[in-house]
Amino acid sequence: MRANVQQPHAPQDAQPILWVRDLQAHYRTSHFGVRRGVKAVDGVSFAVRRGEIYGLAGESSSGKTTLIKSIAGAIRPPLEIVGGSVEFAFLPGYGGLHRAPPVDVARIRWRHLSYIMQGSMNVLNPVRRVESAFVDFAYPHIGGSRKQFEQQVVAHLARVRLDPSVLAAFPHELSGGMRQRATLALATICRPDFIIADEPTTALDVVVQKEVLGMIRSIQRETGSSVLFVTHDMGVHAHITDRLAIMYAGRLVEEAATAEIFRNPLHPYTRHLISSLPRIGDDTPREGLGGSPPNLADPPPGCRFHPRCPLATEICKREVPAMLEADTGHRVACFAVNQGARA
C-alpha cells in the first residue's frame, strides 16, 4: 500500500493534555526461585496535545501494550511502575492513574478518558445486551431521564451508522465491524477529552477498517478529543495520526509529525519501517533487517538497536542515546543523527 499521509489537523501549538515523563514499567517475575525483570518500558517521555491524534508504532513486543496499561493505570503484578510519571491535565497531581484514589478514577473514566480496544469484547460484556454497556458506563456521566438518554444514544449510534436495534443485541450477534462501531460509539458518547485506541482496527478486514478509521477521525474532529492511537501498522498511522512516535525495545526512537516521519525518517529503524512498506508498481526487492528484536529481560547495553543497526559505532554499544530535537518538532534518539542536535 502506498502511504497516503494525512496533513495534521490539530493546531501545532495546542497545549498538552497528557505528559509521560521518563516512564519505566517492568515485569518482575520469579520462576523456580530465579527472579527475572523484563524492561518493557524503559525511560519513555512524550506529550500528547489537545485535539491531536498521536500515534505509537512499533513491532510486536516493543512495549506498546505495557505503555498503554501504564498510562491507563491498569497496573497489576507482575507489572510495576518503577520510575517516572504519567499526568493527565484533567487529573493533575498524582503522577499516574494507578496512584489516584479510586473515586477520582471512576469520575474521569468514560467522561474524560475512554478506550477503544482491539477485542471489543473487552468492553462489551458477552452475556449482556449492548444497551447495558451504555447504561453502566455512560448514563452515570450523562444523567437526565432514561428517555432522553436513550434518544442521545440512538442519535450517537446513527453517527457510526448503527441501527438502534443493536442495543437489544448480544455482542456475539453483531459482526466484528458492528461491534467495533458500537465500542466507538460507547467510547465517544460522553465526548471525552482523551481516548486510548489500542489496535482498534487490527482484527477487521481492510474495507471495514477504512470505514472505522474514517469514523474515528470524523468523531474526533467533532468532539475535539485527543487520541493516543496504537498500532504496528504504519499504513494505518499514515491514514489517521497527526504525530507519530516509533517505539523499539521499550524505548522511543523517533517522534515527529506523521507526514515528516514518512517524508524524512531519521532513525535507521524508522527508515527500515518506512522502506519496507509495499508500494504499488515497485517490484524492487525489500532488504530485511538482520537479527531479531532483543530479549527485554536482558537487553543490549547502550542503544538497544545497535546490534541490528547499519550505522552503529562504539559509542552506541556503551551509551544510551537521548531523544534530541534534530529539527523543529522532530526528535530522534540516535548518535549518528544527533551530532550537534538540541536537547
CB of 228 to ligand ATP, least distance (A): 13
Interface positions with ligand ATP (CB under 6 A): 27, 29, 38, 40, 58, 60-66, 78, 232, 296
Rounded Cα gap, residues 79 and 49, in angstroms: 27
* Complex with ligand ATP: residue 38 or 53, whichever CB lies closer: 38
CB of 211 to ligand ATP, least distance (A): 23
Rounded to whole angstroms, the Cα distance separating 180 from 185 reads 9
d(CA 37, CA 27): 5
> Which has the closest alpha carbon to 36: 214, 241, 259, 297?
297
Closer CB to ligand ATP, 78 or 214, in the complex: 78
Least separation in angstroms between CB 79 and ligand ATP: 7
**In angstroms, what is the minimal distance from the CB of 75 to ligand ATP?**
12
Our CB check for ligand ATP shows the closer of 67 and 332 to be: 67
Helices 146-159 and 176-188 meet at what angle, rounded to 10?
120
Report d(CA 234, CA 194) in Å as an integer.
22
Q: Which is nearer to ligand ATP, 63 or 200 (CB)?
A: 63
Q: How far apart are CA 223 and CA 193, in angstroms?
A: 8
Residue 28 Cβ, how far from ligand ATP at the closest point, in Å?
8
Nearer to ligand ATP, 39 or 112 (CB): 39
CB of 72 to ligand ATP, least distance (A): 13
Cβ 117 to ligand ATP, closest distance in Å? Answer: 12
CB of 286 to ligand ATP, least distance (A): 21
